[in-house]
Amino acid sequence: MNLINRIKTAFSIYWSFFKIGGLTFGGGLTMLPMLERELIQNKKYITEEELLDCYAIGQCTPGIIAVNTATFVGYKKAGILGGILGTLGMVSPSIIIILFVASFLNFFIDNIWFFRIMIGVRGVVCALLLNTVFSLGKKTLRSGITWTIFGCVFLAAFFFKVSTILMVLFSAIAGIILDKFGLLGIPGLGKKSKTKSEGENQNE
């Protein structure tokens, strides 16, 4: 990709994430359907599997998952400039809205209509989060092993309040070990790993 095309792509990424950031309520997880429609179906910037990988990396790294995902997708498609503009596109709507709300904070706090609106929005957010959980589950829980890891982590988080960092580390180590012995049971994963290894060997 030459410099001109890279710059055009970076600004296109900015606009895509600006729309997503401005129209999403409930945080990073609820924007997955919009990311799929904008980045995969409309723009074809990344594949569905790549988006889930970016989401997973964004969840494991410090910071807001939505911003992290925008940075990773932007960088993957248009390098450093794409990462910067993707990040700016995601946070720009929030900055604009927060500045507007802060200017009329007393009005919003005491306004009964605003209070009623927020009650409705909270219900929508819960529904969107639940929809995202089911959507992610259908795409990632594709074997008995992944279901087992999911169950163990859920129990650890819900009943024993185990640290998120420990659960992520446990899951990552478990995935590495199980894949090493071919026990993950996810179709195509072993073939992909083998193809990647063969490509690296040829490059050497």
Q: How far apart, in whole angstroms, are the C-alpha atoms of residue 154 and residue 45?
A: 32
Q: Return the beta strands (E) in 57-204 as ranges.
A: none
- Report helix, strand and coil shares of the chain as percent, to nearest 5: 85, 0, 15
Note the pLDDT of residue 185.
63
Q: Is it the case that residue 93 has pLDDT exceeding 60?
A: yes
- Span 3-44, pLDDT tens digits: 888 889 899 999 999 998 888 766 667 777 888 888 888 888
Please answer whether residues 17 and 90 qualify as being in contact, where contact means their C-beta atoms are separated by less than 8 angstroms. Answer: yes
151: pLDDT confidence band, cut at 50, 70 and 90?
Answer: very high
Sequence spans of domains, the chain: 1-139, 141-185
pTM comes to: 0.67
Q: In sequence order, what are the residues at sequence separation of 6 or more whose Cβ sits closer than 8 angstroms to the Cβ of residue 180? A: none
Closest CA to 86 of 121, 46, 114: 46
